[in-house]
Structure 1
Amino acid sequence: MPHGSTPARTIFHIDANAAYLSWSAAHALQQGCPTDLRTIPAVVGGSEKSRHGIVLAKSTPAKAYGIQTGMPLADARRRCPGLVVVPPDYGLYLKASAAMTDLLLEHSPLVQPFSIDECFLEYPAGSHLPPLAAADRIRARMAGELGFTVNIGISSNKLLAKMASDFQKPDRTHLLFPEDVPRKMWPLPAGDLFMVGSRTERKLRRLGLCTIGDVALADSAMLHSHLKSHGLLLQRYARGIDGSPVLPGGGVPMKGMGNSTTAPFDMERPEEARQVLLSLAETLGMRLRKAGMRAGLVAVSLTYADFLHASRQRKLPGSIDTTRELHSVAWNLLEELWDGAPLRKLGIHVSALQEGRIHQTSLFEPPTGEKQRAAEQAVDLLRSRYGNAAVIRASFLHSGLPPHSGGTWDAECPSMSSLL
């Protein structure tokens, strides 16, 4: 090896196949269900009654009917009248995701969860198993011990490992190294490139860039002219260039967090919208305090019954983390934004985060602020010990609305007798 050179890394990208459906299917089998949902036309779908009725995950037999993720359940049922629909179980999915991460940590200390159903792993140099054999062993353990399959992409960087894991599915290992990029990656549609969404794909097509190879070989100045810095980033990715490290535990600094919910009815009265905002602020406030963060900017988004969207944000003189403060700011923003037409969906998002111990006091903060914070932290402690339903606000009694929206709480997390 030349003096001063860096040894090549070996990066795995592990992606659970049809994660939500696979996890629901594995759990159902453990609970005595005689049929594996993965072998029949089945989907995980939201509640049609509460208007969350879209396909979240699908089985391979369901895909044969043309059913796609994001499709309204009503359309999916028309395509396949015998379709089996199971509700999402986010508590189960979080535990399955944690079990997957724990298994991977037995193979390397460098594991970075990238989403609920995918992780990066840097395979240690000098390990007794070659990388390909280690990947096969991981896949076998996932299937045998946890009950679901994964795809694994292997490369010398995270980008190419992720691209490789999206090749033929399910339960496969694929290799994609820099020297393979022109042959294996450039013929693929530009929309298959990481960070290319549907809008960007349309822009690329208008520029005559239909494949990943087209993006890789395009004029850089032209890409920057039409897509700014994002265009140059996409060209680096199209050329297989990525130097980002595997960050254990995620490692990405938190820039913001938010909650949103689609109400089971159109909100026409201010008191209805105010109550839904309170349920969102309740969950978001708990998340902020658990993370030890405070927010310096609050934004509210809304979707009208005719699906038009609007949003408004406000930078605060200080920073906040209590449910009462979040709700107050959010409600003021909604009053400014809402024209009174029926609302379908509301959301609260916070950013400009700072550590909770770094608290810039505002001259306008009421003297009761610390007492309120202490009270809410005490409630957080009770909920962490006895469940989120242990303490709820009286205004939610008999309201027909959940006391917490936009997050997972204990009512959605049934206990499990095994890893899944």
Structure 2
Amino acid sequence: MGFIDYSREPRSDIAFIDMKSFYASVECVERHLNPLKASLCVMSHSDNAKGLILASSPTFKEVFGKSNVGRAYDLPFHMETRKFNYGNARRQGLTITPQFIEFIEYWAARTIFASPRMGLYIDVNLKIQKILQNYAPEEEIYPYSIDEGFIDLTRSLAYFDQDPKISRRIKLDEVSARIQHDIQAETGVYSTIGLSNANPLLAKLALDNEAKNTMSMRANWSYEDVESKVWAIQEMTDFWGIGSRTAKRLNRLGIYTIRALANCNPDMLKQEFGVIGVQLWFHANGVDESNVLEPYRPKATGLGNSQVLPKDYHLQKDIELVFSEMAEQVAIRLRKRHKKATVVAIYAGFSRHVEQQSIAAQMKVDPTQSTRQLTAHVIELFRKKYKGGAIRNIGVRYDGLVDEAYTVYSLFDDPVEEEKLEKMEHTVDDIRRKFGYLSIQSATALYENSRVIARSKLIGGHAAGGAGGLDGLA
């Protein structure tokens, strides 16, 4: 082995649980279909009716070779007729034979396309969280996303199996199997679990690199497995924390495998990457001293929002309308947090048909939480940078937050008038909290290209199934 004395490293009994094709599985269950056998795709049609693949069942992925992120126009068949699409197939370099065409059309005819229902997915997630609380207290459960998360079973194993002759490794596997069974019985959703009697990192690596390919959909990687399993990971980018850019930088150092990374000189990594390089070295050796029980506290103190527009916006007045709406939405969140912003930033991404670099700009401002002032700053930034072209993605962010009591007046400001405007905005906020965000709106919300009403029906950018979706405004 390498340079690590694992007897001195902390040990926890961790399960990293991933709901298999979560959105697609929930939609299958709602239709009384087997999530592992049905061909189903969750597709959003807000993307100018072209179709954005948000999730798909294992069968859909296997048959059509599509990941959870893709476009309808990449499918090897026509959505309307379910007939083979020669153009898409050739563009993707697929080998076209009569048998292949028959195979694709067979499954295309049997594929279900479901619209996203985020409200439903959240309800199922809450059921799963309650199941997990049967195995560990809430503070020992760490949701990683809507469909995956850690559970620390260190203190729970002895409760479920008190036989001292059975190893903790076996106990962890048995308890995890019970969790899988309970989730499937209650929700119909199958789960994959990465296990570790060492730390969260090894549980995550076990999930990503082995558990998904086993019959039980479970796998355990602990300290004793580092050399045989962690070091055997074939692709550098299959290792947690290593993306394509990091892999290329490691390659330039002569490091092409996880084994080589684990056995190189950490000083060389520190010189190239800083402290992140040393962390990569420890991770390659299976060492992770993070604690699931310690809640994550983000360093970022700003507030922001972004959205993908339902179509290309060509007119500047329409783009500015949406920027103004987002500026107001984030300003409301500022007031809810009792904060003022000292930095305003915007982002605008062009249509895929426009060969222009995205717009990203920011400016320092006097501390404010005023919708009127913040909107003016956002529009000012946009007008300085925008020179034309269709826009498809936009974002607004306020940073450098300070307490709302902090106020700066200039010689040209009227403190009395500013106080009146401030009270009016807080009153409007109170009414919206009580009666809903749409209870008070500008007349521009009725414009064709306004996004206020449409986004009020979304959760996290997707169809809510009846729930509101302007994050942070409720």
* TM-score category, normalised to shorter length: 0.7 to 0.9
**Does the CA contact (< 8 Å) of 1:153 and 1:163 recur in 2?**
yes
The secondary structure found in structure 1 opposite 2:320 is helix
Task: State whether residues 111 and 248 of structure 1, in contact with CA within 8 Å, keep that contact through their aligned partners in structure 2.
Answer: no
Contact kept in structure 2, 1:300 and 1:312, CA below 8 Å: yes
Determine the structure 2 residue equivalent to 1:24. 27
Identify the residue that residue 60 of structure 1 maps to in structure 2.
58
SS in 2 for 1:128: helix
Contact 1:40 1:61 in 2 (8 A): yes
C-alpha offsets along residues 263-290 of structure 1, whole Å, 9 cap, x if unaligned?
Answer: 2333333211111112323443344445
Q: Is residue 2:205 matched to residue 1:163?
A: yes
The answer to whether the 8 A contact 2:47-2:309 is kept is no
2:316 matches 1:270: yes
Residue 260 of structure 2: which of 211, 214, 217 is its match? 214
Residue 386 to residue 106, structure 1, CA distance change in 2 (3 Å)? farther
Q: Between Structure 1 and Structure 2, how many residues are aligned?
A: 404
Query: Structure 1 pair 93/377, CA: closer, same or farther in 2 (3 Å)?
Result: farther
- Secondary structure at the aligned position of 2:211 is classed as coil
TM-superposition CA deviations, 1:160-188 (whole Å, max 9, x none) = 22222223327622211122111111111
Asked if residue 351 in structure 1 is aligned to residue 399 in structure 2, the reply is yes
Return the alpha-carbon distance in structure 1 between the equivalents of residues 192 and 322 of structure 2.
Answer: 40
Q: Is the 8 A contact 1:51 1:263 kept in 2?
A: no
Which amino acid in 1 is paired with 2:312?
Answer: D
2:159 corresponds to:
128
SS of the aligned residue for 1:303 comes to: strand
Letter in 2 for 1:412: A
Q: State the alpha-carbon separation in 2 of the partners of residues 77 and 324 from structure 1.
A: 49
1:290/1:132 CA distance change after superposition, 3 Å: farther
Which structure 2 segments of 5+ residues have no match?
Answer: 1-7, 78-88, 90-103, 161-170, 468-474
1:11 aligns with 2:14: yes
TM superposition shift of 1:312:
0.9
Q: Which residue of 2 aligns with 1:232?
A: 278
Instruction: Find the aligned partners of 2:49 and 2:341 in 1 and give their Cα distance.
Output: 30
Q: Distance in 1 between matches of 2:349 and 2:343?
A: 21
Per the TM alignment, residue 405 of structure 1 is displaced from its structure 2 partner at its CA by: 7.6
User: What's the % identity of the aligned pairs?
Assistant: 26
Residue of structure 2 in register with 1:104 after alignment: 132
SS in 1 for 2:159: coil
Higher Rg of the two aligned structures? 2
CA distance in 1, matches of 2:455, 2:251: 36
Q: Distance in 2 between matches of 1:60 and 1:149?
A: 11
1:162-311 pair list within 5 angstroms: 162-166=204-208, 167-169=210-212, 172-188=217-233, 189-247=235-293, 250-252=296-298, 255-290=301-336, 293-305=339-351, 306=354, 308-311=357-360
Equivalent-residue separation in structure 2 for 1:264 and 1:349 (angstroms)? 21
3-state DSSP of counterpart to 2:68: coil
The 2-side partners of 1:91 and 1:249 are apart by 26
Check if 1:390 corresponds to 2:432. Answer: no
When residues 252 and 86 of structure 1 are mapped into structure 2, their CA distance, relative to the original with a 3 A threshold, is same
- Inter-CA distance 300–141: structure 2 relative to 1 (3 Å threshold): same
Alignment root-mean-square deviation, CA? 3.2
User: CA offset at residue 191 of structure 1?
Assistant: 0.6
The residue correspondences of 1:42-57 to structure 2 (distance < 5 A) are: 42-47=40-45, 49-50=47-48, 53-57=51-55
The answer to whether the Cα contact below 8 Å between 1:301 and 1:312 also exists between their aligned partners in 2 is: yes
| Pairing partner for 1:317 from 332, 353, 366 | 366
Unmatched segments (≥5 aa) in structure 1: none
Equivalent pair of 1:51/1:262 in contact (CA under 8 Å): no
Report whether the alignment pairs 1:150 with 2:195.
Answer: no
Q: Can you list the C-alpha shifts for 1:378-420, whole angstroms capped at 9, x where unaligned?
A: 444444444443333321113233216878747932259xxxx
Aligned to 1:119: 149
Deviations 1:195-231 (A, max 9, x none): 2223223333444433322222233233334433332
Q: Mean alpha-carbon deviation: is it higher for 145-154 or for 169-178?
A: 169-178
Alpha-carbon spacing, 1:116–1:289, altered in 2? closer, same or farther (3 Å): farther
Partner of 2:37: 39
- 8 Å CA contact retained: 1:18, 1:57: yes
CA shift, 1:70, in A, is: 2.4
* Partner AA of 1:348 in structure 2: V
Match of 2:241, SS?
A: coil
Which amino acid in structure 1 is aligned with residue 384 of structure 2?
Answer: E
- The Cα shift of 1:149 comes to 2.0
1:116-151 Cα distance to aligned partner (Å, 9 max, x none): 222222224264113322212211111111221222
What is the TM-score when the length of structure 1 is the normalising length?
0.83
Alpha-carbon shift at residue 330 of structure 1 (Å): 1.8
Contact kept, 8 Å, 2:331 with 2:369, in 1: the verdict is yes
Q: Are the structure 2 counterparts of residues 159 and 88 from structure 1 closer, same or farther at C-alpha, using a change threshold of 3 Å?
A: same
Q: 1-side partners of 2:303 and 2:226: how far apart? A: 36
Mapped to 1, the partners of 2:391 and 2:334 lie a distance apart of 26
**2:116 corresponds to which residue?**
88
Task: Find the counterpart in structure 1 of residue 93 from structure 2.
Answer: none
Moved more, 396-405 or 367-376: 367-376
For normalisation by structure 2, the TM-score amounts to 0.75
Partner residue, 1:332: 380
C-alpha distance in structure 2 between counterparts of 1:404 and 1:282, whole Å = 14
CA 1:245–1:264: 2 relative to 1, 3 Å: same
Give the aligned residue type for 2:66: I
Tell me which stretches of 4 or more aligned residues in structure 1 moved more than 6 Å: 404-408
Judged with a 3 Å threshold, the aligned counterparts in structure 2 of structure 1 residues 219 and 257 are, in CA distance, closer, same or farther, namely farther
Greater Cα offset, 292-301 or 65-74: 292-301
Amino acid at match of 1:88: P
In structure 1, give the amino acid aligned to 2:70.
M
